[in-house]
Amino acid sequence: MSEAAALADMFVFRLMFRLYWLPVHESRSRAARDSGANSPETFFERKRLLNAFAARKYPLKLRRDGKAVAYTKYLVISALALDTIGGACSALLDNKCGIHDRRPLSCRSVPFHYSRTEASGAADLTAFVATKGYECDTSDAAPIVWDSGRVIDADIAAARSQALAVAQQDRRWSDAIVRRMNAKSSASSSLPSVDEVEANARLGAMTTSMQVAWRIAADAGLIAPGECDRLVAAQLDAIGGELARPGCSQEARRTLGDMQAEYRQHLNGGQAIAMSA
Ligand code: SF4
């Protein structure tokens, strides 16, 4: 979320809610395989990452192979940059990154996204290299970035560590958001409850307006009151930029139009907000 504030002039953001499930105990059971943790290393690293990135965790029991299995449900709250042209990043200029010096940590940690385990690096790298449109150097002369379950590229490793530090720094902010989700007052009606996030989990992540997060941050004293308006104004400029891009999809145009109306209303003193799955 901090990164979204720093890049509000560049990308259009939504506040995203996503749930993850992981068995409490590592095992070679179907439960562990279902969770994507197919080795003890992956399991424990995944657990460590979810503990670091999740805003809340909840115990629950699920039936697997006829037995009750103890799981932990993790709620992750983050900022999602809207993809308006099917994968063509808004910062791409003449096939180069136009914001290279301040590109997001997700880009700095490519191809080992900071939310993914190092243990699954080989599979991630293979999938990345195979992605259509990417021009990865796989020659013998290419630098070695991953070896024996560890990311060894210093810049990528630093970006992964920095992402954990930013998550820690955002902890008070996500705590304040969760408190509003639990309160479910009319003032926070634009936020989903955890049950609503869960009901939509099969459809993917749930998103709502990023300005909700900024208002909560301002109310909690985490940002200056005027900062919320500055960020909303920056988003209005970014929305205008996206709408002007040739190739911006019809679906994206609808979302951007709704956001534009909502943000203008905010700057004029109103607070209408839309939520979507
Ligand atoms: S590195 Fe690529 S995806 Fe990341 S901001 Fe730059 S152009 Fe966009």
| Ligand 1 atom closest to the CA of 96, numbered from 1 | 7
Q: Is 110 in the pocket of ligand 1 (CB under 6 A)?
A: no
Return the structure tokens found at 203: 């459809």
Neighbours of 232 (CB within 10 A): 21
Structure confidence by residue, pLDDT tens digits, 70-89: 999 999 999 999 999 887 89
SS3 270: coil
Residue 90 structure tokens? 């808004």
Cα separation of 228 and 215, whole Å? 6
Ligand 1 pocket check for 85: Cβ under 6 Å = no
77 Cα to the center of ligand 1, angstroms: 22
Query: Token match 């909700």: residue?
Result: 212
Q: How far is the CA of 262 from the centre of ligand 1 (A)?
A: 27
| pLDDT surpasses 50 at 275 | no
**Position 118: which residue type?**
E
Looking from the CA of 10 toward its CB, the CA atoms found within 13 Å total 19
- Centre of ligand 1 to C-alpha 93, Å, is 9
152 lines ligand 1 (CB under 6 A): no
Joined together, the tokens standing for residue 98 give 């136009």
Can you tell me which atom of ligand 1 is nearest the CA of 92?
7
pLDDT higher than threshold 70 for residue 37? no
In a domain, 200, yes or no: yes
CA distance 245 to 137: 30
For ligand 1, atom 6: residue with the closest CA: 97
Ligand 1 atom closest to the Cα of residue 89 is 8
Q: For the residues 90-104, what does the mean pLDDT come to? A: 94
Taking the C-alpha atoms of residue 41 and residue 258, their distance in angstroms, rounded to an integer, is 44
User: Is the residue at 62 inside a domain?
Assistant: yes
pTM, rounded to two decimals: 0.88
Within-domain flag for 97: no
The tokens for 216 are 């909560």
Assigned domain for 229 exists: yes
CB-based contact 99:107 (threshold 8 Å): no
The 3-state DSSP composition of the chain as helix, strand, coil percent (nearest 5) reads: 45, 20, 35
Q: Is residue 49 part of a domain?
A: yes
User: Per-residue pLDDT tens for 155-207?
Assistant: 999 999 999 999 999 999 999 999 999 986 545 578 999 999 999 988 889 99
In a domain, 162, yes or no: no
Domain of residue 48: give its range.
1-85+169-277
Domain total in the chain: 1
Span from the CA of 256 to the centroid of ligand 1 (angstroms): 21
Q: Does residue 141 fall inside a structural domain?
A: no
Averaged pLDDT, 93-110: 95
pLDDT score of 238 more than 60: yes
Distance from the CA of 227 to the center of ligand 1, in angstroms?
Answer: 25
- Specify the pLDDT at position 135: 87
* Cα 236 to averaged position of ligand 1 atoms, centre (Å): 21
> Residue 107 falls within a domain, yes or no?
no
Question: What pLDDT, in 10s, does the model give residues 240-268?
Answer: 999 999 999 999 999 999 999 999 998 98
